[in-house]
Structure 1
Amino acid sequence: MKKHRILSIALATLALAASPAFAGDGKHHKGKHHKGHGDNHHYVVDGRHDNGLHKGWYKQAWRRGDRIPVAYLEPVYYVDDYRVYHLSAPPVGYRWVRPMDDRYLLVELATGLVTQALGY
């Protein structure tokens, strides 16, 4: 009986002493890439890499020459009553698009090219 008690105490002590070794140092994460101490920390999650830009953490600031995603070329984003918003009439093949409140883009429908960005 005394042997079992001593053996169980020894195993419990060993298990508690070994648990910090299994905890890890926090530098290696499953599914992520960690470069080194001196490098910028750019992580890869789900196979996508944003080069540290953290897109999606802020509202996109569109500029002339950018291409907008195809999702913004849906009629739900079109500004049909452009005169109400004091916008000029779009040329043929172009549309005013409103991706978010108080921001307007004049976009070429065929390519998604932004030719004018207002409110950015």
Structure 2
Amino acid sequence: MKLQRISALLAALMMAVPLVSMADDHHDRDHDRPDWDHPGYRHDEYRGVGPNHEWRRGGALPAEYRGDRYVVNDWRGHHLSEPPRGYHWVQVNGDYVLAAVATGIILDTLLTQ
């Protein structure tokens, strides 16, 4: 009698194991919540300070970056090509911009990640 009860209990437990493995994995990222999809809401809008990838060839380098503080004199040490006459490399955040010394017009950019 005791053996039958133990066998029945074991059989019931063995049948319950697949049900446990089918449990919710909690990887739904809360998409069932009513407030998860606001129009215009993006998760990546709140990134911190980083490289500015808005530099374009032919665009103007802002005046605050034209001072000697941002000029890269050791372009070889930064693995950059030699700037043509009248141009210099400027480092802003993680980006390198090749700009005209006189006007600040951008000739080339080297954008980092």
- TM-score, scaled to structure 2: 0.51
The unaligned stretches of length 5 or more in structure 1 are 1-56
- Give % identity: 40
The unaligned stretches of length 5 or more in structure 2 are 1-48
Write the mapping of 1:97-108 to structure 2, written as runs, cut at 5 A. 97-101=90-94, 103-108=95-100
Distance 1:113 1:96 in 2: 12
* 1:70 Cα offset (Å): 1.4
Distance 1:60 1:90 in 2: 21
Paired positions, count: 63
Alignment root-mean-square deviation, CA = 1.9
- Contact 2:61 / 2:105 at 8 angstroms: preserved in 1? yes
Larger relative contact order, structure 1 or 2 (CA cutoff 8 Å, min sep 6): 2
1:73 to 54, 66, 70: 66
Write the mapping of 1:35-50 to structure 2, written as runs, cut at 5 A. none
Distance 1:113 1:63 in 2: 9
Q: Does 1:62 align with 2:62?
A: no
2:81 equivalent in structure 1 = 88
Report the secondary structure of 1:71's partner residue. helix
1:38 equivalent in structure 2 = none
Deviations 1:47-91 (A, max 9, x none): xxxxxxxxxx98351010110111111000000111011111111
- TM-score, scaled to structure 1: 0.48
Distance 1:88 1:82 in 2: 7
Structure ID, larger Rg? 2
Distance 1:68 1:85 in 2: 20
